[in-house]
Amino acid sequence: MANRKIAKDFLNVTVQSVSSEASPFAKENMIDRTSPQKHWRTSATTEQNVVIDLGADMSAVSVYLDWVNFTTVKYQDSASAGGPWADVTGNLSVEKDPMHGVYRRRDELTLTSKRYLRILIPAQTPADGAAYFRIGTLAFPTSVTELDAETTVEYPFEVTLPESHIVENRFPGGKTEKIRLGQLQPMVISFALRTEAMQNLKGAQIAEIAELMRDTTGVMYLDFNLGESWQSYLVKKAGDLRATLSAPAVSTADFGTVLFEVVV
């Protein structure tokens, strides 16, 4: 099983321009990571462009698109916000997460030391039949760490999909929120992180993993790293983190089970 990838930091970017914008769904909404439902919406389904200022020349970026309603996208880069533009990728397929019912995609892009990234959405029929295109969340995770430990992941559907179709979200600090399930269903990932015997995981590595997972208020990026472009999520950790290190002769660690709430 592949090791999971996780990140707690994100590149601070600016949405330089968009081809169209339907009020009140402003272009800045797409870089708000608090909820993909606070989204950017176009006013047409003709070819649309989103120009992103990365803040500096970049040779590589991780790009995450969540809660979109298009199935084809292309990336281009340029030294200027006005172009000319060079293809970074060809047309890419945006696939549906079969367990969450959401179209999303993550990519590792190699740029030619350029500051501006353009997201090109070709003319197409929106996946939900709407008269517009949508980007719920656009994020650029940085310092992505591949956990040096085998992990297992479970989806507790009996918790996240009750028969009543009413879900109560509990947030750090004791606040709760009740929501009625619509098209976008909430999901909780049960993330059990345990190292295998004789992996010789050092105390410094355990501290690194613990630091990634300690903050229960911030949004984190979690990539299953299984080769599926849709199998990445923005999550918040729920519950306490407990880590133990065994005897030096074995040097294995047990972080118990950590619950991650998918940001919806």
* Residue 107 lies in domain: 9-142
Band (136; pLDDT cuts 50, 70, 90): very high
Question: 214 and 122, same structural domain?
Answer: no
Q: Is 30 exposed, middle or buried (0-12, 13-18, 19+ CB in 10 A)?
A: buried
Q: Is the pLDDT of residue 13 over 60?
A: yes
Question: 67 and 161, same structural domain?
Answer: no
Of residues 123 and 237, more confidently modeled: 123
Question: 200 and 89, same structural domain?
Answer: no
Point out the domain boundary residue: 142, 171, 200: 142
Tally the domains of the chain. 2
Question: 90 and 191, same structural domain?
Answer: no
Q: What are phi and psi of 171, to 5 degrees?
A: -110, 155
Q: What local confidence, expressed as pLDDT, does residue 187 receive?
A: 56
Cα separation, 79 vs 116, whole angstroms = 6
Does residue 2 form part of some domain?
no
pLDDT tens digits along 164-218: 445 566 666 666 655 545 444 445 565 555 544 445 555 666 666 666 666 666 7
Mean of per-residue pLDDT scores for the chain: 80
Q: Which of 22-26, 47-51, 94-98, 239-243 has the lowest mean pLDDT?
A: 239-243
Question: 169 and 207, same structural domain?
Answer: yes
Q: What local confidence, expressed as pLDDT, does residue 227 receive?
A: 86
Alpha helices in the chain, H assignment, sequence order: 157-160, 203-214
Does residue 27 form part of some domain?
yes
Point out the domain boundary residue: 142, 162, 197: 142
Does residue 4 form part of some domain?
no
Look at the alpha carbons of 180, 181, 184, 187 in this order and tell me if their dihedral is positive or negative: positive
Point out the domain boundary residue: 87, 117, 142: 142
Band (240; pLDDT cuts 50, 70, 90): low
Q: Residue 96: which CATH number?
A: 2.60.120.260
Strand partners of residue 260 = 189, 237
Q: Is the pLDDT of residue 254 over 60?
A: no
Question: 101 and 39, same structural domain?
Answer: yes
Contact 45, 126 (CB under 8 A): yes
Q: Residue range 135-158: average pLDDT?
A: 73
Question: 163 and 44, same structural domain?
Answer: no
Question: 126 and 19, same structural domain?
Answer: yes
